[in-house]
Amino acid sequence: MAAVNRDNMEEVKTDDGSPKIKPRPIVRLGIFLIAHSPIFSVVFSAAGVLALLLLPLLAKNTYISENALMPGSARSMLSNQDVSDGSKLVKDIKNFRLNHEGQGVEVQKLIGKYMSDMGAEVSFQKFHPEGNQFHPLHFFSSPDSYALEENVSCASYGVNVAGIIRAPRGDGKESIVLVTPYDFINGGDYESLSLGIVSSLFSLLSRVTWLSKDIIWLVADSRYGDYRPVAAWLTEYHSPSFKVSDLLKCDELNTADNFRRAGTMAAALVVKVDGRSERFEDTLSIYAEASNGQMPNLDLINVVNYLAVHRQGFYVKVEKVVSLLSSSWLQIFGEIFEAVGKLAHTLNPDWNFGIPAADYLEGSATLASSLYSQALGIPTGPHGAFRDYQVDAITLKISPRFPPDSKTRQHDFFLRGARLLEGTIRSVNNLLEKFHQSFFLYLLTSPSKFISVGVYMIAFALLVAPLPMVAASLYIDGCKALTNSTHNPAENLKSWKWLDAAKQVFALHLLGFIVTLLPYFICQVPGQHSPRNRSIMWGTTSSSLLLITFVTIPGFSPFSSRLHGTNWAVLKSVTIAAAFIGLCLMSIINFATAEIGALLLVPTCLMAQPIKPALRSRRVKSLLGAFCSLVLVTIGFPVMFFALSKGLLGEGLVGLSLGGEFWTWLESLWAWKSATYLYIGMVHLPCWLLCLCILFHPS
């Protein structure tokens, strides 16, 4: 069709007998691409997907970019005395909790006493576990812009303990933070091990002379989750409210004016111990993703990984999608790549890009997890709270290979854990400047391999490249169809025919915006509602709004039989243009979301065609096309995709409660201020609706 169109264009130009004006090469290239857009869109999209699959092959080994870090160059100074201090604390806490059942802040006081015995300045902080309230204005706002002013009850609050070691000769401008989340009420034996590790380290740090930055050890009260206490402490650290707080009166523990600070934070490490390692070695999992796919500087991960692997002998891993490890299609891809790599190697021994299929599988599973957690925009641990203040932070989850009550192994475990932290702190302590040398935009395929932004954006660029081409070609088509009667070629491109379509697209985007904001009002509805009811409320309001739009604005409904409604080709062209802009904008805010969104949205938008003519024509090709677009549109519905991905992730397909689960999922998104929620509401949903309109277009 486009080829025909091109012929027509040439005819138009040569109508008056003049020879064709040779446009500039770039224009010619553009015209060429637009003219052959169907082929190119297929080629580019396929290349985009292929580039995504190739990413594990293109991953580079990590390296320490900042020379000042010098990880592992100093001998560890941790002694057995320090470790036995840590063990004593763990034992004391255990005994104390056995003897004293129930509430109170006695355990906190015990830890505080330990800290001050080591020579640290101790402060306690009370916080209130805040509910996840959706407020549309909180997106992209800095974390200090809202303060809790509502009356707080004394029924539930947590108490953090923080100890600060002042660097003996330091100037106190910078600090390094160690966080150990610990549930003071029902924390398990494994959890208290993290206290032991950090306490051993703290004992050492209180007497070393090489510190140039202050050390803060925060024992976060994790009975209301890991994230909240850390976030509350950081809020108090960075933007305290000097007004009187009701929370202070709740307890005999007076925390007023007690809060202590130690300068700008250079880095933060969250240490957790949980579960038993399935492997022979102790396992160290690194979690780095903060809200909206922000990552800490790669150097921080490198230092930890280097020290853990080469000095302390931990097995280091990052999160991966386990179900992908057993997927056969990925296995086939891996084997193909391996074969190609081997072939290339035989041709030229220097070509070493091939990796074994097993490595490829591991890499892609890790990559998928990395992409997924970044796309979701939800931090994977308490370290996420630090990112809001531009502090590089990671969570280290250590799983020992012994049961928690094994005393003999515990000593060795503390020694190695504390030495790992000591090395990391020593490296960060060496830093004169804050982390800036290495990458901030990257995806991990293993703890020691990464893909930088320059490589992974190729896949996205290829994926979205067809959109402007197809939009242009469709627009030319549509305009021609509309101006068939006039036969005025000059007005062909200058016509304002796209305005109708643009109005429709704009209206649906506006609708998407309103639907995005609706949960705020639904949350305001008095009374307790289950997530399921709320999702039903949301669904009904949204669909009724959609119906109202269709009914009130003429020429909008895909079901109306008015002939002078917008041409579907022009509508599709504008839709695709809107999707393109939306995706590009999103790629700046959160690249991973845009990547996954493009995987969904690009085929849907490209394939969308009215099914009526296809049904009428009864040709196999057009029927197949209609079927494909139907399937894609079905999958493209956010709820459907959510259900599918849940099924894919191995959590089992859910039935009626799907709406409820979807609501909870969205609730978590907005609670974490994830831009993914905005993307779904303001880019994906309108584009999906527009595709639906095109699908049922009466032409």
Is 168 a binding residue for another protein by CB under 8 A? The answer is yes
Q: Which residues does residue 444 pair with via DSSP β-bridges, in sequence order?
A: 450
- Pair 45, 603: CB distance under 8 Å: yes
The residue among 60 and 100 lying less far from another protein, judged by its C-beta, is 60
Q: Which of 15, 17, 151, 563 binds another protein (CB under 8 A)?
A: 17
Cα–Cα distance measured from residue 565 to residue 556, given in angstroms and rounded to the nearest whole number: 7
Cα–Cα distance measured from residue 391 to residue 265, given in angstroms and rounded to the nearest whole number: 6
Cα–Cα distance measured from residue 177 to residue 534, given in angstroms and rounded to the nearest whole number: 40
Is 242 a binding residue for another protein by CB under 8 A? The answer is yes
Cα–Cα distance measured from residue 401 to residue 205, given in angstroms and rounded to the nearest whole number: 27
Give Dmax (Cα) for the chain.
102
Q: Which of 437, 622, 657, 664 binds another protein (CB under 8 A)?
A: 437
List, in order, residues 6 or more apart from 208 with CB less than 8 Å away.
77
- What are the C-alpha distances in Å from 435 to residues 148, 253, 293, 344, 363? 32, 38, 18, 39, 26
**Residue 139 CB, nearest distance to another protein (Å)?**
15
Q: The tokens of 446 are what?
A: 């293993």
DSSP 3-state of 118: coil
**Residue 60 CB, nearest distance to another protein (Å)?**
11
The residue among 342 and 436 lying less far from another protein, judged by its C-beta, is 436
What is the chain's Cα-based Rg?
A: 30
* Sole window of 69-77, 125-133, 236-244, 660-668 interacting with another protein (rule: CB under 8 A): 236-244
- Pair 340, 354: CB distance under 8 Å: yes
The answer for 259, left when phi > 0, alpha when psi is -120 to 50, beta otherwise, is beta
Looking at residue 69, the DSSP 8-state letter turns out to be G
In the block, which residue shows the tokens 């280091």? 316
Is 356 a binding residue for another protein by CB under 8 A? The answer is no
Q: Which of 171, 189, 491, 651 binds another protein (CB under 8 A)?
A: 171
The residue among 441 and 600 lying less far from another protein, judged by its C-beta, is 441
Number of residues that bind another protein (CB under 8 A): 41
**Residue 355 CB, nearest distance to another protein (Å)?**
16
Cα–Cα distance measured from residue 322 to residue 186, given in angstroms and rounded to the nearest whole number: 30
Is 170 a binding residue for another protein by CB under 8 A? The answer is yes
Relative orientation angle of helices 685-695 and 498-524, to the nearest 10 degrees: 130
Q: Which of 155, 350, 484, 620 binds another protein (CB under 8 A)?
A: 350
Angle at 234 between CA 229 and CA 237, to 5 degrees: 130
Residue type at 192 in one-letter notation: S
Is 655 a binding residue for another protein by CB under 8 A? The answer is no
Is 278 a binding residue for another protein by CB under 8 A? The answer is no
**Residue 380 CB, nearest distance to another protein (Å)?**
21
Is 202 a binding residue for another protein by CB under 8 A? The answer is no
Is 432 a binding residue for another protein by CB under 8 A? The answer is yes
Is 436 a binding residue for another protein by CB under 8 A? The answer is yes
In the block, which residue shows the tokens 């929620």? 677
- Pair 191, 404: CB distance under 8 Å: no
Is 13 a binding residue for another protein by CB under 8 A? The answer is no
Q: Which of 8, 79, 84, 264 binds another protein (CB under 8 A)?
A: 264
Q: Which of 82, 388, 422, 595 binds another protein (CB under 8 A)?
A: 388
Is 113 a binding residue for another protein by CB under 8 A? The answer is no
Q: The tokens of 558 are what?
A: 């895909």
**Residue 21 CB, nearest distance to another protein (Å)?**
6
Site map 116..145 versus another protein, x via CB under 8 A: -x------------------------xxx-
The residue among 243 and 621 lying less far from another protein, judged by its C-beta, is 243
Q: Which of 132, 153, 390, 543 binds another protein (CB under 8 A)?
A: 390
Is 149 a binding residue for another protein by CB under 8 A? The answer is no
645 C-beta neighbours (distance < 10 Å), count? 12
* Sole window of 31-39, 172-180, 298-306, 542-550 interacting with another protein (rule: CB under 8 A): 172-180
Q: Which of 21, 26, 347, 490 binds another protein (CB under 8 A)?
A: 21
* Sole window of 47-55, 220-228, 433-441, 565-573 interacting with another protein (rule: CB under 8 A): 433-441
Is 240 a binding residue for another protein by CB under 8 A? The answer is yes
The residue among 436 and 616 lying less far from another protein, judged by its C-beta, is 436
| DSSP per position, 629-642 | HHHHHHHHSHHHHH
17 C-beta neighbours (distance < 10 Å), count? 5
**Residue 173 CB, nearest distance to another protein (Å)?**
4
Cα–Cα distance measured from residue 254 to residue 245, given in angstroms and rounded to the nearest whole number: 12
- What are the C-alpha distances in Å from 433 to residues 68, 304, 359, 436? 9, 19, 36, 8
Is 172 a binding residue for another protein by CB under 8 A? The answer is yes
* Sole window of 166-174, 455-463, 539-547, 604-612 interacting with another protein (rule: CB under 8 A): 166-174
Q: Which residues does residue 164 pair with via DSSP β-bridges, in sequence order?
A: 121, 216
Query: What is the H or E stretch that residue 255 is in?
Result: none
The residue among 252 and 257 lying less far from another protein, judged by its C-beta, is 257
Is 10 a binding residue for another protein by CB under 8 A? The answer is no
Q: What is the contact surface with another protein in residues (CB under 8 A)?
A: 16-19, 21-22, 25, 117, 142-144, 166, 168-174, 209, 238-240, 242-245, 256-257, 261, 263-264, 350, 388-390, 432-434, 436-437
